């Protein structure tokens, strides 16, 4: 029994690393919070507040007539929210603060015309007031044309709506949250693990065993990717079943999203390796990692579409890797794109990957 | 006469201008407990880490179990066990899982419980390393050096910071390991420990070996040179009093 050099298996060592690392990640509260709890909280918040669309709050004057056809028609408009339980004083104060978008008072007249519609708008909420204005115009036009003495129409309006998928808030928010969860887990998780393994001499102790360096890195990577993909799957399923997140081709879409997640995570782990090399101790990791993650959190279309940004900001957004991950993710989930259809996004992620790993190899420290 | 299992010849290690190890030579015989003694910064740990394949040497030769360190460090890693001064372990794993990890890194399969039995830590199999007492931590560290059934183990100050009971308990463990045929190289700052444990010791100072012999012989030589202790030696010392008063049993909270 001289020794077992010949039968030594790097694969076995790598898998042992991966297993240990995976167990460790599962027991690390920060990993679970970053990858699961954070995105889920954001999805919950936006899932609930984002669903309603526009609401226009209209106070109804106590002296108003409530039995006329105009009021009935207003009641049936879904964007109009009629408030009938506030006193005049309350309504006036709310109107000036913009909590009410308008106050309406419809009077029945003894003479012609039979009704007068008094509307008070507020400068505090002009755009919603304008929507109400056009809703009222529309209603009054219909009411007026129905009466006998109205002039014959000059032009007739015909409206049709084409069938389409509704783009829900969740369809925008979930891919963004997923992308950000991958970014933070890739950067923070990787940086903390490798720095602490280095500082506590765990890696040094490993080097006294026959394990190869690549086995250590690969084992860690496998564990982190496996954990992130489980997290992503969990987020996607919650989003789909609880909030109606659109998965065009069902299972195939999920698989494509997971593959893209893995690609994104590998790129982001490059940032993590770099940070672990630059950081001197554990307290210097968060500031450095935040420099990488925060701008992307805000500028990569996590919460708002990039097209909403001012034009001078857009080129910066379009330089960030998370932008392309989010973009690709939305295309896959909502438009039903395959990986081949998002070649452009993948190419840019790939370029980022090469750049960041070139840097990581330079600054990474084993001891 | 036992044959040497470690041969170190004219070993030199320089860090820029500083010479940490300055042409050290010694041999460790198969089956012995060999002590490297000397003040802090003398070069003990550096010498140890070069033998452990963890540090590059500047010059000189190291042959372990007939294998030249320069030609095949990987096969040396298979036959040595290493305990580092103040090393930590992979976070969030319990002792069994750590042993499983190490056996994977060595490419062998080991029953964690059997190994923990050797160091009396079976009841801590599900505990995390950081939850252990100082003595338990050191015993676990020694357990991890035994995973690959090595021919040689290197222990760097294994008893530093332990109370007298834990220290004696560790001596018993180290002697047990040696009696199963494993060669042990140890560093320590406690001369009583070296006297009890080591078959031979090397004194190192400022990167040089200034003497290699058995503890007995060193002491006899010094006495023969006319050395006398300031205080008359009694038949017991204060540590004996400590052990007698507090009992030999090892305490663990």
pLDDT in tens, A157-212: 677 777 666 677 788 888 888 998 899 889 988 999 999 999 999 999 999 999 99
Q: Are strands B152-156 and B80-83 parallel, antiparallel or unpaired?
A: parallel
To the nearest 10 degrees (0 to 180), the angle between helices A169-184 and A321-335 is: 140
**Smallest Cα–Cα separation from A58: which of A41, A82, A34?**
A82
- Identify from B90, B112, B128 which residue to disrupt to test chain A contact, counting A C-beta atoms within 10 A and taking the largest count: B90
**A131 and A237 assigned to the same domain:** no
Q: Do the chains contact at A24 and B93, CB–CB below 8 Å?
A: yes
**A197 and A261 assigned to the same domain:** yes
Nearest CA to CA, how far is A57 from chain B (Å)? Answer: 54
Are the CB atoms for B8 and B209 separated by under 8 Å?
A: no
**A64 and A41 assigned to the same domain:** no
Tell me the two tokens of residue B245: 């008063």
Query: Is residue A158 one of the residues assigned to a domain?
Result: no
Structural domains of chain B ordered from first start: 4-246 (3.40.50.300)
Query: Is residue A1 one of the residues assigned to a domain?
Result: no
Q: Do the chains contact at B86 and A201, CB–CB below 8 Å?
A: yes
pLDDT in tens, A77-109: 878 888 888 888 888 888 888 888 888 888 888
pLDDT at A34: 75
Average pLDDT over residues A147-165: 69
Closest chain A CA to residue B74:
A210
Helix, strand, or coil (residue A115): strand
The total of structural domains in chain A comes to 2
Q: Do the chains contact at A210 and B106, CB–CB below 8 Å?
A: yes
**A62 and A210 assigned to the same domain:** no
If one compares B105 and A152, the residue with the highest pLDDT of the two is: B105
Please give the biggest Cα pair distance in chain A. 114
Query: Is residue A98 one of the residues assigned to a domain?
Result: yes
Q: Which of B84, B92, B148 sits opposite A23 (nearest CB)?
A: B92
Cβ-based contacts of A21 with chain B (< 8 Å): 90
**A198 and A286 assigned to the same domain:** yes
Rounded distance between C-alpha atoms, residue A240 and residue A238, angstroms: 5
**A194 and A130 assigned to the same domain:** no
- Of the residues A114, A146, A178, the one at which a domain ends: A146
Nearest CA to CA, how far is A186 from chain B (Å)? Answer: 18
Q: Are strands B4-15 and A115-121 parallel, antiparallel or unpaired?
A: unpaired
pLDDT at B37: 95
pLDDT along chain B (253 residues), means of 10: 88 92 94 94 92 93 94 93 90 94 92 92 94 92 93 94 89 94 94 94 94 93 87 82 82 59
If one compares A240 and A304, the residue with the highest pLDDT of the two is: A240
pLDDT at B199: 95
- Identify from B91, B96, B108 which residue to disrupt to test chain A contact, counting A C-beta atoms within 10 A and taking the largest count: B91
Does the pLDDT at position A110 exceed 90? no
Does the pLDDT at position A333 exceed 80? yes
Query: Is residue A162 one of the residues assigned to a domain?
Result: no
Does the pLDDT at position A53 exceed 70? no
pLDDT at A52: 53
Query: Is residue A165 one of the residues assigned to a domain?
Result: no
Average pLDDT over residues A106-125: 83
**A19 and A139 assigned to the same domain:** no
Cβ-based contacts of A28 with chain B (< 8 Å): 91-92
**A268 and A339 assigned to the same domain:** yes
If one compares A76 and B210, the residue with the highest pLDDT of the two is: B210
Average pLDDT over residues A226-233: 93
Q: Which of B82, B103, B107 sits opposite A7 (nearest CB)?
A: B107
CB-CB neighbours of B44 under 10 Å = 26
Range of lowest pLDDT (A277-286, A333-342, B133-142): A333-342
Nearest CA to CA, how far is A16 from chain B (Å)? Answer: 5
Are the CB atoms for B203 and B211 separated by under 8 Å?
A: yes
pLDDT in tens, B44-65: 999 999 999 999 999 999 999 9
Are the CB atoms for A352 and A264 separated by under 8 Å?
A: no
- According to the 3-state scheme, what is the secondary structure of chain B? CCCEEEEEEEEEEEECCEEEEEEEEEEEECCCEEEEECCCCCCHHHHHHHHCCCCCCCEEEEEECCEECCCCHHHHHHHEEEECCCCCCCCCCEHHHHHHHHHHHHCCCCCHHHHHHHCCCHHHCCCEHHHCCHHHHHHHHHHHHCCCCCCEEEEECCCCCCCHHHHHHHHHHHHHHHHCCCEEEEECCCHHHHHHHCCEEEEEECCEEEEEECHHHHHHHHHHCCCCCCCCCCCCCHHHHHHHHHCCCCCCC
Q: Dihedral of CA B185/B190/B191/B197: which sign?
A: negative
**A80 and A130 assigned to the same domain:** yes
Does the pLDDT at position A48 exceed 50? yes
**A249 and A355 assigned to the same domain:** yes
Q: Do the chains contact at A201 and B97, CB–CB below 8 Å?
A: no
Phi, then psi, of A212 in degrees rounded to 5: -90, 155
Q: Which residues of A touch B (CB under 8 A)?
A: 3-5, 7-9, 12-13, 15-17, 19-21, 23-24, 27-28, 196-197, 200-202, 204-211, 215
Q: Which of A15, A201, A210 sits opposite B84 (nearest CB)?
A: A201
- Of the residues A146, A181, A199, the one at which a domain ends: A146
pLDDT in tens, B3-40: 899 999 999 999 988 999 999 999 999 999 999 999 99
Range of lowest pLDDT (A6-10, A291-295, B8-12, B60-64): A6-10
- Identify from B98, B104, B108, B148 which residue to disrupt to test chain A contact, counting A C-beta atoms within 10 A and taking the largest count: B104
Query: Is residue A157 one of the residues assigned to a domain?
Result: no
Q: Which residues of B touch A (CB under 8 A)?
A: 52-54, 74-75, 77-80, 82, 84, 86-93, 97-98, 100-108, 144, 148
Q: Do the chains contact at A20 and B97, CB–CB below 8 Å?
A: yes
Closest chain A CA to residue B153:
A208
**A193 and A240 assigned to the same domain:** yes
Q: Do the chains contact at A17 and B105, CB–CB below 8 Å?
A: yes
C-alpha distances (whole Å) from B78 to each of A367, B85, B153 are: 21, 20, 11
pLDDT at B22: 93
Closest chain B CA to residue A192:
B91
Query: Is residue A151 one of the residues assigned to a domain?
Result: no
Q: Do the chains contact at A200 and B88, CB–CB below 8 Å?
A: yes
Domain residues for the domain of A75 are 56-146
- Identify from A3, A214, A218, A367 which residue to disrupt to test chain B contact, counting B C-beta atoms within 10 A and taking the largest count: A3
pLDDT at B252: 61
Query: Is residue A310 one of the residues assigned to a domain?
Result: yes
Cβ-based contacts of A20 with chain B (< 8 Å): 90, 93, 97-98, 100-101, 104
Are the CB atoms for B65 and B79 separated by under 8 Å?
A: yes
pLDDT at B240: 87
Rounded distance between C-alpha atoms, residue A179 and residue A275, angstroms: 19
Are the CB atoms for B80 and B64 separated by under 8 Å?
A: yes
Residue A109: CATH number of its domain: 3.40.190.10
Closest chain B CA to residue A6:
B75
Nearest CA to CA, how far is A302 from chain B (Å)? Answer: 32
Does the pLDDT at position A67 exceed 50? yes
**A108 and A210 assigned to the same domain:** no
Q: Do the chains contact at A13 and B107, CB–CB below 8 Å?
A: yes
- Of the residues A97, A130, A146, the one at which a domain ends: A146
pLDDT at B47: 94
């Amino acid at each position: 029994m001289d020794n077992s050099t010949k039968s030594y298996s790097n694969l076995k060592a790598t898998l042992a690393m991966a297993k240990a690392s995976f167990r460790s990640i599962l027991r690390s509260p920060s990993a679970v919070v970053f990858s699961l709890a954070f995105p889920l909280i954001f999805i919950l918040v936006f899932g609930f507040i984002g669903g309603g669309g526009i609401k226009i709050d209209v106070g109804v004057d106590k002296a108003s007539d409530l039995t006329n056809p105009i009021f009935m028609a207003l009641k049936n408009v879904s964007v109009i929210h009629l408030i009938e339980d506030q006193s005049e004083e309350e309504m006036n104060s709310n109107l000036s603060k913009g909590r009410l978008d308008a106050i309406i008072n419809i009077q029945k007249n003894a003479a012609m015309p039979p009704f007068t519609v008094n509307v008070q708008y507020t400068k505090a909420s002009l755009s919603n007031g304008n929507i109400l204005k056009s809703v009222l115009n529309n209603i009054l036009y219909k009411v007026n044309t129905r009466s006998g003495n109205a002039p014959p129409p000059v032009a007739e309006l015909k409206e049709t709506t084409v069938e389409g998928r509704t783009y829900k808030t969740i369809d925008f928010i979930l891919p963004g949250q997923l992308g950000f969860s991958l970014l933070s887990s890739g950067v923070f998780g990787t940086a903390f693990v490798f720095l602490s393994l280095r500082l506590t001499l765990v890696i040094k102790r490993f080097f006294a065993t026959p394990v190869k360096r690549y086995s250590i890195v690969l084992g860690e990577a496998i564990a982190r990717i496996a954990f992130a993909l489980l997290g992503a799957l969990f987020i996607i399923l919650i989003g789909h079943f609880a909030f109606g997140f659109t998965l065009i081709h069902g299972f195939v879409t999920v698989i494509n999203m997971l593959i893209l997640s893995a690609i994104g995570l590998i790129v982001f782990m490059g940032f993590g390796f770099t940070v672990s090399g630059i950081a001197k101790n554990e307290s210097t990791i968060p500031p450095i990692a935040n420099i990488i993650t925060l701008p992307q959190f805000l500028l990569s279309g996590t919460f708002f579409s990039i097209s909403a940004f001012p034009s001078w900001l857009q080129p910066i957004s379009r330089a960030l890797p998370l932008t392309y991950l989010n973009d690709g993710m939305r295309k896959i989930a909502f438009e039903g794109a395959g990986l081949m259809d998002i070649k452009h996004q993948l190419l840019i992620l790939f370029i980022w990957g090469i750049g960041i790993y070139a840097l990581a190899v330079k600054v990474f420290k084993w001891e | 006469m036992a044959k040497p299992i470690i041969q170190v010849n004219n070993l030199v290690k320089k860090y820029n201008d500083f010479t940490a190890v300055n042409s050290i030579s010694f041999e460790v015989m198969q089956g012995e407990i060999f002590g490297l003694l000397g003040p802090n910064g003398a070069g003990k740990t550096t010498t140890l880490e070069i033998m452990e394949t963890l540090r590059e040497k500047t010059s000189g030769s190291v042959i372990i179990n007939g294998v030249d360190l320069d030609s095949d460090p990987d096969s040396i890693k298979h036959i040595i066990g290493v305990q580092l001064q103040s090393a930590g372990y992979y976070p969030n794993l319990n002792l069994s899982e750590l042993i499983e990890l190490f056996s994977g890194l060595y490419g062998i399969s080991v029953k964690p419980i059997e190994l923990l039995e050797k160091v009396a830590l079976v009841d801590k199999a599900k505990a995390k390393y950081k939850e252990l007492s100082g003595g338990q931590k050191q015993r676990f560290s020694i357990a991890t050096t035994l995973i690959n059934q090595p021919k040689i183990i290197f222990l760097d100050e294994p008893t530093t910071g332990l109370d007298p009971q834990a220290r004696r308990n560790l001596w018993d463990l180290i002697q047990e390991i040696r009696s199963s045929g494993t060669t042990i190289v140890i560093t320590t700052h406690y001369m009583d420990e070296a006297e009890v444990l080591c078959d031979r010791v090397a004194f190192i100072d400022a990167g040089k070996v200034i003497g290699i012999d058995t503890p007995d012989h060193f002491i006899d030589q010094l006495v023969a040179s006319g050395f006398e202790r300031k205080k008359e030696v009694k038949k017991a010392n204060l540590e004996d009093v400590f052990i007698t008063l507090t009992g030999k049993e090892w305490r663990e909270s």
